[in-house]
Each structure stands twice: as C-alpha cells, then as structure tokens.
Amino acid sequence: MGAKRSRLARIDEGIEAREAKLAETRREIVELAGREQEAAAEALRRDPSKSAYALRSPAHELKRKRLELEKSVSVLEQELALLNSDRVAADAEQAARELGERTNEGRNLTQKEREARSACAKTFVQLVERWGALAEVLEQRSELRSTVAGERLIERLGIFDREAREAWDAVADYLVEPVAVDLRGLIDEFFESVLGARPEDDAEGLAELNRHRARYALAAEVRTIP
C-alpha cells in the first residue's frame, strides 16, 4: 500500500489538472470562434436575408458550444483561485511539520555537540595535567644540561673517552626542538606534527617530514614524489 499523499500534494495535483483543462478549454474556444465566424459568413453568402444565427444553424450551435466553454473557463478560474488560496495554508502546515522535524534534528545535534564538547573538555583537562608532568621533565633536562655545562665535563673529558662523549650526546638533546615553554607551545607542536608541516614535494622534504612525525610515534606519510 502506497504512502498517503500530503494535503499539499493533493492540492497541487488539483491545480495542475485544472490549469491543463483551462489551457485546453481556451484553445477550444479560439477554435470554435473561428469556425463560428466562418459558418456565419457562409450562411450570409447563401441567403443574406436570413439570420446567420437562426435556431439550430451551424453558427448558432458553434456559438452555443463556445458560450458553454466560456462558462467552464469561469468555473475553472474560480476553482483555481480557491485552490491557490488553500495551497498557501496547506504549504504553511507542511512547512510547520518539516520545521518540527528539522528542530528535532537540531535538538539531537545539540545533545551530540554538548557530549562531544564535554569529552573535549575532559581531554583538555588531562592534557593540562600531563603538560605539568612534561614541563617538570623538560625543566629537569634543562638543569641537567646546565650542570654538565657548568662543571665543564665535556671540556674536561677532551679526547680521552670518546664513548662517554657519544653516550652523553645521545641523551643530551630534547626530543623535540624548539622546546615548548608553555601549554600553548605544546599545542602548537601537536598541530605541526598531526596536521603536518608539508615541506616541498621532494625526497628529502618527505624524509624530513617523516623524521618529524617519528618523534611523535606517528606513522610515516607515504606519497608519490614527482
């Protein structure tokens, strides 16, 4: 069983049918008027002394049909005016129903947005807490580097213990430079790493990008180099 048509759809169907009927009726009126004129002229040529519109004469019958159709035109025009007026109200009713549906969609989206924003806020709070731990580590590294520099350990070592120098060099630097000095700087790091600072499309540029992504344990980006 088909879905029930809306009131607006039924009204539109009625308007369409009457407009088509009106156009056809007007075409018939024009055709009848031409034939009527020809019939009247022919009757007058046959006998100028008699009325061309005598009862049941061709011109009389054609005129009668034309007048009936003109009455039909008047009825169709009145019905169209009523239907068009009714259509405004039906369209408003349908718009109200559709707006209600959109409102429900908007209500659902509002709830989803609230939940998503709440999740983002919780994640951000966790990020703030983790930034505190990271900032402490960065500060400790800074102090350690300062201690090594202040005690002139590298200069004192000289060339006598290459392995000790290489072992220190392997752990002396920050994992990511420049070093973030606040939470905003950390977030900027994440934007650059996740969204990707895109160097020129050449092999060395791609390698540099992937070295940068590797610092954050991100998968290497694979793309064709022209």
Q: Which two tokens stand for residue 142?
A: 């800074």
Residue-level pLDDT at 103: 97
Say if residue 115 is in the same domain as residue 22.
Answer: yes
Look up tokens 């025009």; give the residue: 77
**Residue 1 resides in a domain:** no
Over its C-alpha atoms, the chain yields an Rg (Å, rounded) of: 45
Mean pLDDT of 127-150: 91
* Position 217 confidence tier, pLDDT thresholds 50, 70, 90: low
For the chain, the maximum distance between any two Cα atoms, rounded to a whole number of angstroms, is 144
Tell me: pLDDT of 224 over 70.
no
User: What is the rounded distance in angstroms from the CA atom of residue 226 to the CA atom of residue 221?
Assistant: 15
Q: CA 12 from chain center: how many Å?
A: 29
Where a domain ends, among 98, 120, 142?
A: 120
Q: How many domains does the chain have?
A: 2
Q: Which of 23-27, 75-79, 131-135, 152-156 has the lowest mean pLDDT?
A: 152-156
Say if residue 30 is in the same domain as residue 77.
Answer: yes
Mean pLDDT of 149-173: 86
| Other Cβ atoms closer than 10 A to 186 | 20
Look up tokens 């609230």; give the residue: 114
Residue-level pLDDT at 2: 47
**Residue 226 resides in a domain:** no
**Residue 195 resides in a domain:** yes
Sequence-separated (6 or more) residues with CB below 8 Å from residue 53? 40, 59, 60, 63
H or E element in which residue 176 lies: none
Domain ranges, residue 206? 125-214
pLDDT digits (tens, 9 = 90+) for 1-54: 445 788 999 999 999 999 999 999 999 999 999 999 999 999 999 999 999 999
Say if residue 131 is in the same domain as residue 106.
Answer: no
Tell me: pLDDT of 222 over 70.
no
